[in-house]
């Protein structure tokens, strides 16, 4: 359905219809010049050959420096595996940790690829709904109740796509205490780390040595440096898991793109420029988030107040069974379809995110699109009866 809505929106745009899209999953910023310049340099220097499967030593060292400086985590380059985007790192992580029949606990709402990745590794996703009163974050007792003899891993995603929830250090410590009593791997997806407006990022791997041993930290260049198309993600893990991921990748895809790896070293190593870009992007997203929630407050809709990432989930539960222009809304997908057809606003229905009563709006869009799109959204709501 997600693809259907985006494909339909694209088709409408191509035929000249003005569509405001809140469907984007990537920052609408150009990759900073100092990074693209490094890519040009890589080409001039002939950095066009195979690299070690797990990534160049320079990039793995730069990632170790980043994890130490930002997350208080000490890894050796042999514990880092660079892959074709964080999604590939997640795939490697599930393949390395799960055997056929193992269960992976996936708090819902979740990013829609986790269940599929778990299944591709032969595992079974076990969904645990999180609750509004807990800020849509998994609690220790919910985790405990989901554990079975087959539990092998927990998926954590902070900041979360789609809810924008950000786990605090205390919340992670409380989950870590459960995991120390009943060890399981933690696949910790931290890709939105730098886009937090309320709270601070903490990696569960930093909670204790035991958790660091059990956790695969997944992060990458895509969201932080507006580099979604470059396909560079990475995983940090204990040596056994890192070497399993690296050897699997060496047979499946070999190294990630050599030019993108070279540019990623520049992205991470030039801390001053990185900070400048991140501050600017963060400021823009923070302002857009505020604008979006202010308008949503004005519309009186129920939504999840995001702490991070660039999405806001709006509840469409109260419209179920109602009609717009003679079409009955029976699902979030129906709602999104009608919104696109009549208001020319594209949003993502959240059935695939384990949240069938919600739609997801991305505020990776200009302020004028946020204003005009949410105005049209508000007008659409008045036509539902
Ligand atoms: N993890 C989450 C939560 C995401 O939202 C995304 C992309 O949308 C990814 C991972 C994938 O990142 P990448 O583009 O580096 O593969």
Pocket of ligand 1 (CB under 6 A): 25, 85-87, 111, 157, 161, 189, 191, 220, 222, 228, 233
Pocket test for ligand 1, best of 114, 157, 191 (most atoms within 8 A of CB): 191
Q: How far is the CA of 53 from the CAs of 56, 134, 228, 238, in angstroms?
A: 8, 41, 20, 17
C-alpha 133 to ligand 1 mean position (Å): 27
Nearest atom in ligand 1 to the alpha carbon of residue 26 is: 8
Q: Which residue has 């220097």 as its token pair?
A: 45
Apex CA 193: angle with CA 246 and CA 211, to 5°?
Answer: 60
The C-alpha atoms of residue 29 and residue 279 are separated, in whole angstroms, by: 13
Ligand 1, atom 8: nearest CA belongs to which residue? 25
Helices 33-44 and 258-269, packing angle to 10 deg? 140
Q: What is the rounded radius of gyration, in angstroms, for the C-alpha atoms of the chain?
A: 21
C-alpha 87 to ligand 1 mean position (Å): 6
Indicate if the alpha-carbon torsion angle 197, 287, 155, 260 is positive or negative: negative
pLDDT per residue rounded down to tens, the chain (385 residues): 567 888 888 899 999 999 999 998 999 999 999 999 999 999 999 999 999 999 999 999 999 999 999 999 999 999 999 999 999 999 999 999 999 999 999 999 999 999 999 999 999 999 999 999 999 999 999 999 999 999 999 999 999 999 999 999 999 999 999 999 999 999 999 999 999 999 999 999 999 999 999 999 999 999 999 999 999 999 999 999 999 999 999 999 999 999 999 999 999 999 999 999 999 999 999 999 999 999 999 999 999 999 999 999 999 999 999 999 889 999 999 999 999 999 999 999 999 999 999 999 999 999 999 999 999 999 999 999 9
How much is the pLDDT for 109? Answer: 98
Ligand 1, atom 5: nearest CA belongs to which residue? 161
Nearest atom in ligand 1 to the alpha carbon of residue 89 is: 16
| End-to-end Cα distance, the chain | 24
C-alpha 324 to ligand 1 mean position (Å): 34
Coil/strand/helix, residue 372: helix
Bridge partners, 323 (sequence order): 328
Bridge partners, 186 (sequence order): 154, 215
Torsion of CA 224, 229, 232, 235, to 10 degrees: 70
Q: Are 161 and 196 in contact (CB under 8 A)?
A: no
How much is the pLDDT for 1? Answer: 58
Contacts of 94 (CB under 8 A, 6+ apart): 104, 117, 118, 120, 121, 123, 153, 187
Nearest atom in ligand 1 to the alpha carbon of residue 157 is: 3
How much is the pLDDT for 367? Answer: 97
C-alpha 228 to ligand 1 mean position (Å): 9
C-alpha 164 to ligand 1 mean position (Å): 14
CB atoms inside a 10 Å sphere around CB 250? 14
Strand 103-108's sheet: what is its strand order? 80-83, 233-236, 215-220, 185-189, 151-157, 103-108, 124-129
How much is the pLDDT for 4? Answer: 82
CA atoms within 13 A on the CB side of 129: 7
CB atoms inside a 10 Å sphere around CB 317? 11
How much is the pLDDT for 97? Answer: 98
CB atoms inside a 10 Å sphere around CB 98? 23
């Amino acid at each position: 359905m997600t693809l259907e809505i985006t494909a339909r929106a694209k088709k409408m745009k191509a035929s000249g219809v003005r569509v405001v899209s809140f469907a984007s999953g990537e920052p609408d910023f150009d990759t900073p010049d100092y990074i693209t310049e490094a890519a040009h340099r890589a080409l001039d220097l002939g950095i066009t050959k195979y690299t070690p499967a797990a990534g160049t030593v320079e990039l793995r060292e730069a990632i170790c420096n980043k994890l130490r400086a930002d997350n208080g985590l000490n890894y050796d380059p042999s514990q880092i595996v660079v892959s074709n985007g964080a999604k590939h790192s997640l795939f490697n992580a599930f393949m390395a940790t799960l055997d056929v029949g193992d269960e992976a606990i996936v708090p819902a709402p979740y990013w829609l690829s986790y269940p599929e990745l778990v299944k591709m590794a032969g595992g079974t996703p076990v969904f645990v709904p999180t609750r509004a009163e807990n800020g849509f974050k998994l609690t220790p007792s919910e985790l405990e109740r989901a554990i079975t003899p087959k539990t092998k891993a927990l998926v954590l995603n902070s900041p979360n796509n789609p809810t924008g929830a950000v786990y605090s250090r205390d919340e992670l410590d409380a989950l870590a205490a459960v995991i120390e009593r009943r060890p399981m791997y933690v696949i910790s997806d931290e890709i939105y780390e730098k886009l937090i407006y309320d709270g601070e990022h903490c990696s569960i791997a930093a909670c204790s040595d035991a958790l660091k041993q059990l956790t695969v930290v997944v992060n990458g260049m895509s969201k932080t440096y507006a580099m979604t198309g470059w396909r560079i993600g990475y995983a940090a893990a204990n040596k056994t898991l890192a070497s399993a991921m690296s050897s699997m990748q060496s047979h499946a895809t070999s190294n990630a793109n050599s030019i993108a790896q070279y540019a990623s070293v520049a992205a991470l190593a030039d801390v001053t420029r990185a900070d400048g870009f991140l501050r600017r992007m963060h400021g823009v997203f923070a302002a857009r988030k505020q604008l979006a929630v202010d308008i949503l407050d004005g519309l009186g809709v129920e939504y999840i107040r995001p702490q991070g990432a660039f999405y806001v989930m709006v509840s469409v539960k109260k419209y179920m069974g109602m009609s717009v222009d003679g079409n009955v809304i029976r699902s979030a997908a129906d709602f999104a379809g009608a919104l696109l057809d009549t208001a020319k606003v594209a949003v993502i229905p959240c059935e695939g995110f384990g949240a069938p009563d919600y739609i997801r709006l991305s505020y990776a869009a200009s302020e004028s699109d946020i204003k005009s799109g949410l105005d049209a959204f508000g007008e659409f709501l008045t036509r539902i009866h």
